[in-house]
Amino acid sequence: MTTEKISRSFNFDTIALHGGQDIDPTTRSRAVPIYQTTSYVFDDADYANELFQMQKEGYIYSRNANPTNTVLEKRLAQLEGGSGAFAVSSGQAAITIALNTLAKAGDEIVATNALYGGTYNLFANTFQRFGIKVHFVDGHDLDAVEAAINEKTKALFTETIGNPSLQIADLKNLSRIAHKHGIPLVVDNTFTTPYLEKPFDFGADIIVHSLTKFIGGHGTSIGGAIVDSGRFPWNNGRFPEFTEKKPYLNHHSFLELAKENAFIAKARFELGHDLGASLSPFNSWLFIQGLESLSLRIEKHVSNTLKVAEYLSQHEQVEWVNYPSLKDNPQFELSKIYLPKGAGSILTFGIKGGLEAAKTFINSVKLLSHVANVGDSKSLVIHPATTTHSRLLPEEQLQAGVTPEQIRLSVGLEDANDIIADIEQALSVVRTKHF
Ligand SMILES: Cc1ncc(COP(=O)(O)O)c(C=O)c1O
């Protein structure tokens, strides 16, 4: 019996270690091998033609598919409870490919406005140049979300936990609204990972990931993935590109050929092939190593973050702390529904003394690293208003929940006492300099 055939009945930790891997029959290698190859030898001319027309499954060229990446893709799909996945070169590539598989010039997308700054820029600028209009709405204003959808809309997009506002997406209601209008709900699950939240359980249709963060977990590699639930009815009339017969598919449609994998097949066969944002097998292998310890790491991330949040909450130099798992947080009730195991390891706090105090704090940390990243095993810190979200106009920053006194922490796996001691010494430098 192969691992792949039985893994759907396994629990999370077992899938994280075994999902998607069939032991290589030639070498019997226990670890997933790195298939560092560009291309694959075809059996004969007819076989090559059948592969190119999606009549047969097999490898052609590593821009489209690679056996190491396949293990990662299957493992991610199983962990999310989806039908298939496509691993790509970055989280940004995953978002770009997923949404452009749904929308083309003239179409529209509705997105919640509390998003990672890079995604906001991608939507507001680059998608506009592609001819795709993105409407930004407050994800907690469900009437506004619904009002922004029209006959040109091809997707509703949100992040499970908005960056850096930490707004928790109300996926049950967002998916209900999306489905009422015949469009899929696309969810960025980077901040939560399938260990903390499974968006498909709440009605989402497509998930995107920046693997760069918690799934890689060690700050070594950039990568992304698209996962499909396999449940969206592409034949509902809004998505003719899935049902039209294509000459290059031997006069079949993606839906006919790939059935519940139609979305992933279209993403891989068209934009994956044409844009070439492919994931290197070596990086894929590193993400597989990351997945193997995901739950252990996330549990420690969460317990450390709670300790740091509680410490900051009682500190006299701290104006406010935003971590949805804290009992007095306005999103605490929502966090119990969507994130009962904890609201991840990103928290923000407002430092007394505003922008200048925030800069001094960041210049004074010693253990925490000042970097533009989250989800590393090491603790990280940044000032979103002047970095990740600095391309946003002041009013756009406010809408995204970005303020001058706000500091974002990505709490790592060090001893929590050492993280807190570093924050304490940096706050004491602020006290001496500004008060
Ligand atoms: C929530 C979220 N989605 C997507 C991305 C983009 O991912 P990548 O840097 O892998 O392109 C990021 C990056 O910070 C992110 O925080």
In 201-280, which residue ranges form alpha helices assigned H by DSSP? 240-243, 254-258, 262-266, 273-275
Q: Containing H/E element for 212? A: none
* Per-residue pLDDT at 136: 97
Predicted confidence band of residue 1 (pLDDT cuts 50, 70, 90)? very low
Assess whether pLDDT exceeds 60 at residue 239: yes
- Would the CATH topology of 3-291 be identical to that of 295-434? no
Compute the average pLDDT of residues 221-239.
Answer: 98
Cβ–ligand 1 contact at 190 (below 6 Å)? yes
CATH topology of domain 3-291: Aspartate Aminotransferase; domain 2 (3.40.640)
Q: What is the pLDDT of residues 155-191, one digit of tens each?
A: 999 999 998 899 999 999 999 999 999 999 999 999 9
Dist. CA 118 → ligand 1 center (Å)? 7
3-class SS at 379? coil
Domain ranges of the chain: 3-291, 295-434
Q: Is 42 exposed, middle or buried (0-12, 13-18, 19+ CB in 10 A)?
A: middle
* Per-residue pLDDT at 399: 83
Ligand 1, atom 14: closest residue by C-alpha: 373
Which range has the worst mean pLDDT, 3-12, 162-171, 268-277, 327-336?
A: 3-12
Atom of ligand 1 nearest to the CA of 211: 10
Assess whether pLDDT exceeds 90 at residue 332: yes
Compute the average pLDDT of residues 143-164.
Answer: 97
CB 109 within 8 A of CB 153: yes
Compute the average pLDDT of residues 131-143.
Answer: 98
* Per-residue pLDDT at 8: 58
Residue type at 241 in one-letter notation: E
Atom of ligand 1 nearest to the CA of 163: 1
Atom of ligand 1 nearest to the CA of 115: 1
Rounded distance, CA 333 to CA 324, Å? 9
Best residue for ligand 1 mutational test, from 89, 119, 196, 280 (most atoms within 8 Å of Cβ): 119
Rounded distance, CA 227 to CA 292, Å? 18
Compute the average pLDDT of residues 7-22.
Answer: 91
Q: What is the pLDDT of residues 88-107, one digit of tens each?
A: 999 999 999 999 999 999 99
Cβ–ligand 1 contact at 278 (below 6 Å)? no
Cβ–ligand 1 contact at 92 (below 6 Å)? yes
Q: Which CATH class is domain 295-434?
A: alpha beta
Q: What is the pLDDT of residues 114-129, one digit of tens each?
A: 999 899 999 999 999 9
Assess whether pLDDT exceeds 60 at residue 6: no
Rounded distance, CA 120 to CA 74, Å? 29
* Per-residue pLDDT at 324: 98
Cβ–ligand 1 contact at 192 (below 6 Å)? no
In sequence order, the 6+-apart residues with CB closer than 8 A to the CB of 389 are 117, 120, 164, 397, 400, 402
* Per-residue pLDDT at 289: 98
3-class SS at 88? strand
Dist. CA 92 → ligand 1 center (Å)? 6
